[in-house]
Amino acid sequence: MIATLGTSLAAAVVAARNHDGDVIGLVFNLGIPLVLFILGWVVGGRRERAHLRDLARREALNANILRTDLRAYGPADPTAGALLVSAEVVIGTDYCKAFFAGLRKLVGGNLRSYETLLERARREAILRLIEQARSRQFNALCCVRLEASNVGKGIMPMVAILAYATAYRVPDTATTN
């Protein structure tokens, strides 16, 4: 990302110095990355905020579902049985974030944009697990496991999260009152 922007800037400077009058070249070399950057910033930012709102809404709906990464069930309804549920999601970042991450890499430190990307993907995967469990009349998850891998190339990571857990039924405490 930095390399392409850098070479376009360099090419633009060289063209201007040589008085090539090659305005079209300048427009292409500088314009395309700039357009992509703005596109990533505006549209990407909007999509991310919409996704985060959607995640918050679904998490509020499913807040009463117990989820643990314990291998033990705790109180479980033996007649309801248990089932392996799995969910996967692949989320990519946008051009603007990738550009800033590239800058950050030069000085080191937290890559905050990638941290939020992974967090979004994990929240989405776990919510899909819960929704699957709910659709089969289970109300608890145990032994939640998450696997992450990168399916993108170079500086544009596309993170693939595979989440799996065992769904089971916790006896409703309301009926025991």
Partner 1 sequence: MLVVNTETLPGYRIIATKGLVQGSTVRAKHLGRDIAAGFKNLVGGELKGYTELLTEARREALSRMLAQAQELGANAVLNVRYSTSAITAGASELFAYGTAVTVAQDGQA
- Name residues contacting partner 1, limited to 15-54 (CB under 8 A): 36, 39-40, 43-44, 47-48, 51
Sign of the Cα pseudo-torsion (126, 163, 69, 122, in order): negative
Please tell me whether residue 93 binds partner 1 under the rule CB under 8 A: yes
Contact pick of 28, 73, 100, 114 for partner 1 (by CB under 8 A): 73
Tokens, residue 100: 């800033």
Task: Give the neighbor-by-neighbor strand order of the sheet with 140-150.
Answer: 66-67, 140-150, 158-168
Of 63 and 84, CB closest to partner 1:
84
Least distance from partner 1 to the Cβ atom of residue 143, Å: 5
Cβ neighbour number for residue 57 with a 10 Å cutoff: 10
CB of 106 to partner 1, least distance (A): 22
The token pair at 143 is 């032994």
Q: Determine, following the binding rule CB under 8 A, whether residue 100 of this chain makes contact with partner 1.
A: no
124 touches partner 1 (CB under 8 A): yes
Which of 152, 153, 154, 132 is closest to 141 using CA atoms? Answer: 132
Do the bridges between strand 158-168 and strand 140-150 make them parallel or antiparallel, or are there none, so unpaired? antiparallel
- In angstroms, how far is CA 96 from the centroid of its own chain? 15
Give yes or no for residue 107 binding partner 1 (CB under 8 A): no
Per-residue contact string for residues 128-157; x = within reach of partner 1 by CB under 8 A = --------------xx-x-x-x-xxx--x-
End-to-end CA distance of the chain: 62
Rg (CA), the chain: 23
Q: Which is nearer to partner 1, 15 or 167 (CB)?
A: 167
Residues that bind partner 1 (CB under 8 A): 36, 39-40, 43-44, 47-48, 51, 71-73, 76-84, 86, 88-95, 97, 124, 142-143, 145, 147, 149, 151-153, 156, 158, 160, 162, 164-166, 168
